[in-house]
Amino acid sequence: MAAITNTYTRFDAKGVREDLSNVIYQISPEETPFMSNIGRENVSNTFFEWQTDDLAAASTTNAQIEGDDITSFTAVTATVRLGNYTQISRKDVIIAGTLEAVDKAGRRSELSYQMAKKSAEIKRDMCSTMLANQAATAGSTSAARKSAGLLAFLKTNTSEGTGGSDPSYTTIPDAARTDATTTNLRSFSEALLKDVIQKVWTEGGSPSIVMAGPVNKQNLSKMAGIAGQRFNATGAKPSTIIGAADVYVSDFGNVSIVANRFQRERDVFVLDPEYASVAYLRPFQTVELAKTGDAEKRMLLCEWGLKIKNEKAHGAVYDLNSTIQT
Check residue 246 and report its DSSP letter.
T
Q: What band does 223 get if pLDDT is binned at 50, 70 and 90?
A: low
How confident is the model over 120-179, as pLDDT tens digits? Answer: 999 999 999 999 999 999 999 999 999 999 999 999 999 999 999 999 999 999 999 999
The reported pLDDT for the residue numbered 247 is 79
**Report for 25-29, 42-46, 71-75, 113-117: range of highest mean pLDDT:** 42-46
The reported pLDDT for the residue numbered 86 is 98
- Of residues 147 and 4, the one with the higher pLDDT is 147
CB environment 113-132: b (16+ within 10 A), e (fewer): bbbebbbeebbbbbbbbbbb
DSSP string, 141-181: SSS--B---HHHH--SSEE--TT-B----SSS--SPPBPPP
Helix, strand or coil, per DSSP, at residue 113: helix
Does residue 312 contact residue 152 with C-beta atoms inside 8 Å?
no
CA distance 6 to 8: 6
Q: With 90 as the cut, is the pLDDT of residue 256 above it?
A: no
The reported pLDDT for the residue numbered 227 is 39
303 Cβ neighbours under 8 A, 6+ residues apart: 46, 86, 87, 88, 89, 280, 281, 282
CATH number for the segment(s) 33-51+81-317: 3.90.1690
- Of residues 51 and 104, the one with the higher pLDDT is 51
Give CA separation, 139 vs 91, 196, 273, in Å.
20, 34, 28
Q: With 90 as the cut, is the pLDDT of residue 2 above it?
A: no
The reported pLDDT for the residue numbered 107 is 86
Q: Which pTM was predicted?
A: 0.86
Q: With 60 as the cut, is the pLDDT of residue 101 above it?
A: yes
